[in-house]
Structures are given as structure tokens and as C-alpha cells.
Amino acid sequence: MENNREQKAGRLCFRDWLHDEEGVGVVEVILILVVLIALIVIFKDQLTALVNSIFSGISDSVESLAS
């Protein structure tokens, strides 16, 4: 009798484990990171030029304020 209860409890836990969606968030985060890294690699030259332009503008503004 006790063994039968343990088997049923084991099957219920296994079914719960199969339907558990807790790990879906982790998979989504990993996929988003992969896409972001791919975009950065693809547009690396354009992003570098943009960042350099922004920092150059900031540097010029700071120099004009200091003068």
C-alpha cells in the first residue's frame, strides 16, 4: 500500500517537473544576449564611429567650457 502511494507521488512530481516553465526565463535571456552580441559584431564599425563622435563632441564641449 505504501509503495503504491510513493509511485503515485513520484509520477505527480515528474509530471509537475515536465510542465515546469521556470527555466523559460533563462532561455529567453540567453537568446536576447546572443542577438545583442550578434548585432554588436555586425555593426561594430558603425558603433565605434558613433561612440567616437559622441565622445569627441563631449570633449570639445568640455574644452570650450574650460577656456
CB 47: neighbour CB atoms within 10 A? Answer: 13
pLDDT at 5 over 70: no
User: In sequence order, what DSSP letters do the residues of the chain get, joined into one string?
Assistant: -HHHHHHHHHHHHHHHHHH--TTHHHHHHHHHHHHHHHHHHHTHHHHHHHHHHHHHHHHHHHHHHH-
How open is the CA angle 14-24-34, to the nearest 5 degrees? 140
Q: What is the pLDDT of residue 10?
A: 64
Query: Per the confidence metrics, is the pTM higher than 0.95?
Result: no
pLDDT at 6 over 80: no
List pLDDT tens digits, range 12-67.
676 776 676 666 677 888 999 999 999 999 999 999 999 999 999 999 989 888 87
| Cα–Cα dist 38/44, whole Å | 10
Q: What is the pLDDT of residue 21?
A: 66
